[in-house]
Structure 1
Amino acid sequence: MLKSWIAAAALSLVASASLAQTQTEIVMQYPYPELFTETHKKISEEFAKVQPNIKVTMRAPYESYEDGTQKVLREAVTSQMPDVSFQGLNRIRVLVDKNIPAQLDDYIAAEKDFDKQGFHQAMFDIGTASGKVYALPFAISLPIVYVNLDLVKQAGGDPANLPKTWDELIALAKKIKALGNDINGVTYAWDITGNWLWQAPVFSRGGTMLNADETRVAFNAAEGQFAMRMLARLVTEGGMPNLDQPAMRAAFAAGKTGFHITSTSDLNKVTQMVAGKFGLKTHTFPDVVSPNGRLPAGGNVVLILSKDKAKRDAAWEVVKFWTGPKGAAIMAETTGYMPPNKVANEVYLRDFYVNNPNNYTAVSQLALLTKWYAFPGDNGLKITDVIKDHLNSVVSGARTKEPDAVLADMATDVQKLLPKTTGTAVR
């Protein structure tokens, strides 16, 4: 018996060693651990069941999209990049310009019946740069309004007929603010990554960030004027306090805010924080003007950064699973994001949206989706910081009463940072 036990143990050790030798390790890194750690853990567990020969190792998460992009840019110089990286939708451009991610076109072309797995052209378009596919979308978000129905009722509003325009929302927010007890009428996550909620009101009225050939600022036109004045009105009329995003989220969840406008990505976390303390409903983003009104798609994509062919092949299997039906469904169920994968939405999540109507609000806006804009050139990241500083001057109270002047200064400062310009005055 002892001999048999020793022989069995030896065989087990040999098998384990053999598996370890044949396993390919793929190092993965992703942003926003407060939103995605549990998601990636669950997907990784499911992936291990179907791909035991590929071991996925998680690096410490990026703090934000900006942090993730900056780290990859630095690591590309020292050859210390992860094999797979999740990046903000608006950061594909800067990485492709530096020739960092792998093209995925050959992998996509080699797949049989890829469309039956829920992959489609719109998914490829999101990750396309310079005519080639470099990324597949993992989690898609759109801006929505989180509503405290109890405060709406107390202020005389109709929960069944929530505001559809900024004028209506600000008017009701003013009434909610007047309830007292340190209640905020509205909060707006203006400082969200990549100027996302600056682009949203501009795009919603048909505006653009730059002109067609990307040589001149265009956000200072009528659409941008509307957006900057609206931001100022949220402060002066809607009773918006100067809070950062975590504080805004906490205030809303504590029942101290009537309307909170931010990404659908916060939905799972906010719902857990509210925990039934008040009636929570999500509502569509105000004032999306047809026919040209759009909303920027937020969220993140997954890219392959490995330079080794065998690692890239294994990384492709990882990317397929994470963005495929199973991975996408887990992502939707554990966050507030929407999966771009068709099979995930139509099969895996068919009952999920029926039982979770707050999650469906963003899905109902999918027809309005457009690309989250990335500014061109080496100053692309710096431009987002410049815009953020100017927006802060309005929200903080420093220049709340002069939104038009702030917009003019912001346009001039951004123009100076654009490529192919001489820093001439903005028209």
Structure 2
Amino acid sequence: MLKKLLAGVAVAGVMAAGAASAATEIVVQYPYGELFNETHKQIAAEFAKKNPDIKVTFRTAYDSYEEGTQKILREAVTNQLPDVTFQGLNRVRILVDRDIAVPMDDFIKAEKDFEKEGFHQAMFDIGTQNGKVYALPFAISLPITYWNLDLVKQAGGDPANLPTTWDGVIALAKKIDALGPDINGITYVWDITGNWLWQAPVFAQGGTMLNADETKVAFDGPEGQFAMKTLARFVTEANMPNLSQPDARATFAAGKTGVHITSTSDLAKTTSMIGGKFELKTHVFPDVKPGSGRLPAGGNVAMIVSTDKAKQKAAWEFIKFATGPLGAAIMAKTTGYMPPNKVANDVYLKDFYVQNPNNYTAVKQLPILTKWYAFPGENGLKITDVIKDHMNSIVTRSRANEPEKVLEDMTRDVQKLLPKKAS
């Protein structure tokens, strides 16, 4: 009996070892480790509890959305792709055009009660290209304003009635800037990846980047003129310093800036950096035109890029969990992003938003959300660099007094890079 028992234990041990070794491993890579390392660590731990047969291995985080896309394009050539990649919302198009992204439609159709898990059509629309779903949104951000209420009060502003127009923002920023030589009135993180904060004021005025058939620049109209002149006013009227995104964040968190305009994604990190030094209040993005005004959704989506069928199935399980109620709630609590998942917002985060009203500012702007635009063609990434270079000429003051001419030159340079449509 003892021999039989020992033999049985041995067989069970072999079977257990075999099962463990049979676990499917998927490789996952995501951007911005400073924002998402803790998020993905917690999500992976919870995922492992429910999916012991799937092992998740992370690669070192991408430095930025652009770097992440460029890396995927290179790895597709050398057959070194991860199985799951998290990419900027405006980078779905290029990975679909290059036949790298795997469509998710069959996985979605096979799910039962998907709506009860908080998934809805708007989530699918964000990652849809050419009629197929290639990505699910993981973390959604919108542009908002961050205010140092201590400086607002010192400058004679009303914390209960913060401005909702750029005229009002600039006027208060000028008063704050006058408080002392080491105080900045305003910082605007214009260099956020993918020209996001160029698109925001244009879309907020009801404008677009290109015309309907994407053959001609459309941001050179009144909406783009308003956006470029406003950027110039930050410099010429409110004395905005030329700071990088990390430096602008650090300066604001140190209590040296009155109003800081950037993404909701920075909220958790910025709040932590402030550490109670002053009272922080988030507020809406200014001058959104009623009816036609929209704001571009920032953030990132999860995409399957594995060519292995078994790994694709495992990758889908991970993406489904990460964008589902629990994964989305973890993401929201560890960052400043919003989850697009309805159950996460309505159930898991209901009390969280009551206790953290600064996080709810962006949620209030969800009705005016629109896609983060991706420029078409082989020069899509280059166009974003061209726009950045022209905006840089304003912020560095070399051309701050001629925003109309800067916009004219930017229009010309972007138009040259657009794909030529067959006649």
Indicate the TM-score class for this superposition, using the shorter chain for normalisation: over 0.9
TM-superposition CA deviations, 1:213-237 (whole Å, max 9, x none): 1000000100000000000000111
Matches within 5 A, 1:9-408: 14-408=14-408
Measured in 2, the distance between the counterparts of 1:415 and 1:421 equals 12
Percent same amino acid among aligned pairs?
73
* SS of structure 2 residue aligned to 1:307: coil
Measured in 2, the distance between the counterparts of 1:401 and 1:320 equals 50
Measured in 2, the distance between the counterparts of 1:7 and 1:276 equals 63
Measured in 1, the distance between the counterparts of 2:271 and 2:60 equals 26
- State the Cα distance separating 1:308 from its structure 2 match: 1.1
Amino acid at match of 2:278: F
Measured in 2, the distance between the counterparts of 1:180 and 1:100 equals 53
Residues 1:250 and 1:7: Cα distance change in structure 2 (over 3 Å): farther
**Root-mean-square deviation over aligned CA pairs:** 1.7
* SS of structure 2 residue aligned to 1:311: helix
* SS of structure 2 residue aligned to 1:27: strand
- State the Cα distance separating 1:19 from its structure 2 match: 2.8
Amino acid at match of 1:150: D
Gaps of 5+ in 1: 423-427
- State the Cα distance separating 1:181 from its structure 2 match: 3.9
Measured in 1, the distance between the counterparts of 2:347 and 2:353 equals 11
* SS of structure 2 residue aligned to 1:351: helix
Amino acid at match of 2:391: L
Amino acid at match of 1:25: E
- State the Cα distance separating 1:155 from its structure 2 match: 0.1
- State the Cα distance separating 1:79 from its structure 2 match: 1.1
Provide the residue aligned with 1:425 in structure 2. none
- State the Cα distance separating 1:243 from its structure 2 match: 0.4
TM-superposition CA deviations, 1:233-263 (whole Å, max 9, x none): 0011112100000000000000000000000
Measured in 1, the distance between the counterparts of 2:3 and 2:188 equals 71
* SS of structure 2 residue aligned to 1:26: strand
Measured in 1, the distance between the counterparts of 2:135 and 2:228 equals 33
Measured in 2, the distance between the counterparts of 1:131 and 1:393 equals 39
- State the Cα distance separating 1:290 from its structure 2 match: 1.3
Amino acid at match of 1:363: V
Amino acid at match of 1:209: M
Measured in 2, the distance between the counterparts of 1:107 and 1:83 equals 15
Measured in 2, the distance between the counterparts of 1:155 and 1:293 equals 30
Measured in 2, the distance between the counterparts of 1:324 and 1:44 equals 13
Amino acid at match of 1:292: S
TM-superposition CA deviations, 1:358-411 (whole Å, max 9, x none): 000000000010000000000000000000000000000110110000000000
- State the Cα distance separating 1:21 from its structure 2 match: 2.3
* SS of structure 2 residue aligned to 1:201: helix
Provide the residue aligned with 1:415 in structure 2. 415
Measured in 2, the distance between the counterparts of 1:226 and 1:70 equals 32
TM-superposition CA deviations, 1:137-193 (whole Å, max 9, x none): 000000000000000000000000001100000000000000014100000000000
- State the Cα distance separating 1:4 from its structure 2 match: 12
Residues 1:7 and 1:277: Cα distance change in structure 2 (over 3 Å): farther
In the superposition, the TM-score normalised over structure 1's length comes to 0.96
Measured in 2, the distance between the counterparts of 1:58 and 1:300 equals 17
Amino acid at match of 2:307: K
Measured in 1, the distance between the counterparts of 2:265 and 2:359 equals 10
Amino acid at match of 1:40: H
- After superposing the two structures, state which structure 1 stretch, 11-20 or 197-206, moved more: 11-20
Measured in 1, the distance between the counterparts of 2:95 and 2:383 equals 16
Measured in 2, the distance between the counterparts of 1:298 and 1:53 equals 33
Amino acid at match of 2:188: Y
Measured in 1, the distance between the counterparts of 2:275 and 2:3 equals 59
- State the Cα distance separating 1:12 from its structure 2 match: 7.5
Residues 1:152 and 1:20: Cα distance change in structure 2 (over 3 Å): same
Amino acid at match of 1:103: P
Measured in 1, the distance between the counterparts of 2:235 and 2:183 equals 14
Measured in 2, the distance between the counterparts of 1:8 and 1:411 equals 76
Measured in 2, the distance between the counterparts of 1:257 and 1:50 equals 45
Measured in 1, the distance between the counterparts of 2:314 and 2:65 equals 25
* SS of structure 1 residue aligned to 2:282: strand
- State the Cα distance separating 1:420 from its structure 2 match: 1.1
- State the Cα distance separating 1:17 from its structure 2 match: 2.0
Amino acid at match of 2:36: F
Measured in 2, the distance between the counterparts of 1:15 and 1:267 equals 48
Residues 1:8 and 1:59: Cα distance change in structure 2 (over 3 Å): farther
TM-superposition CA deviations, 1:84-115 (whole Å, max 9, x none): 00000000001100011111111111111100
